């Protein structure tokens, strides 16, 4: 029986424009191992960033066989025990794609809110197309969206674009072209 490696599991599940290269993730695990982590089991893979004051879930994958059995919830609950805001990016709701709805419902049930004041659109180096994602967050202390925005900027600059030129032969856009914050939108 061949065991699919963690990277293959992620690439089969996430669209190409959202995937970091395997080299990128391995480099993060190696060179940023104090903040970038991989947690993997037979039915899940989680790649996440943990700093002093927040957690960013880069990728969360639960195998088809074990969906609906509470594994995803267990993983989220485990991260919540650290008592820090948890941030992640999701594809906007697409009624043609029931997965986006299931994913959104899952995070909403887990107490995540949509940071509607944060805009996030980046060009994929893989497809060269603009990709808009929504920022969801859970906060034990009722953190402001502005503070979540600062944490997202930190993640984008230190994780998403880490050694991008070296890894992809070109750089991602600057953080201010990708992330925006609109105070009026904050609920």
Domain residue limits at 80: 6-185
What's the confidence (pLDDT) of residue 6?
A: 96
114 part of a folded domain: yes
Sheet holding 118-123: strands in order across?
130-132, 118-123, 179-181
Q: Is 168 helix (H, G, I), strand (E, B) or coil?
A: helix
Partners of 113 in the β-ladder: 137
81 part of a folded domain: yes
139 part of a folded domain: yes
Distance CA 37, CA 169 (A): 25
**How confident is the model over 60-82, as a mean pLDDT?**
94
pLDDT band at residue 99, thresholds of 50, 70 and 90? confident
What's the confidence (pLDDT) of residue 1?
A: 45
155 part of a folded domain: yes
Per residue in 19-57, pLDDT (tens digit) is 999 999 999 999 999 999 999 999 999 999 999 999 999
What's the confidence (pLDDT) of residue 68?
A: 85
Per residue in 126-161, pLDDT (tens digit) is 888 999 999 999 999 989 999 999 999 999 999 999
**How confident is the model over 167-183, as a mean pLDDT?**
95
Distant-in-sequence, close-in-space partners of 114: CB < 8 Å, separation ≥ 6? 134, 135, 136
1 part of a folded domain: no
Looking at residue 139, which CATH number applies to its domain? 3.40.630.30
29 part of a folded domain: yes
Length of the chain: 187
26 part of a folded domain: yes
Per residue in 104-125, pLDDT (tens digit) is 999 999 999 999 999 999 998 8
Q: Tally the domains of the chain.
A: 1
If phi over 0 gives left and psi between -120 and 50 gives alpha, with beta otherwise, what is residue 142?
A: left
Query: pTM of the full predicted structure?
Result: 0.94
DSSP state of 66: G
80 part of a folded domain: yes
């Amino acid at each position: 029986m061949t065991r699919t490696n963690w990277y293959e599991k992620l690439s089969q599940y996430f669209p190409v424009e959202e995937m970091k290269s395997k080299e990128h993730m391995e480099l993060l695990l190696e060179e940023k191992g104090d903040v970038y982590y991989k947690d993997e089991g037979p039915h899940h893979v989680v790649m996440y960033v943990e700093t002093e004051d927040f957690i960013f879930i880069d990728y969360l994958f639960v195998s088809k066989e074990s969906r609906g059995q509470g594994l995803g919830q267990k993983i989220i609950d485990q991260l919540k025990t650290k008592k820090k805001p948890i941030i992640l990016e999701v594809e906007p709701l697409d009624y043609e794609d029931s997965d986006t709805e299931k994913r959104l419902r899952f995070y909403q049930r887990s107490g995540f809110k949509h940071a509607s004041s944060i805009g996030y659109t980046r060009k994929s180096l893989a497809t060269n197309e603009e990709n808009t994602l929504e920022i969801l967050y859970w906060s034990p202390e009722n953190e402001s969206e502005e503070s979540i925005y600062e944490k997202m900027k930190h993640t984008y600059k230190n994780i998403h674009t880490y050694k991008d030129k070296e890894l992809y032969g070109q750089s991602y856009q600057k953080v201010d072209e990708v992330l925006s914050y609109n105070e009026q939108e904050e609920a």
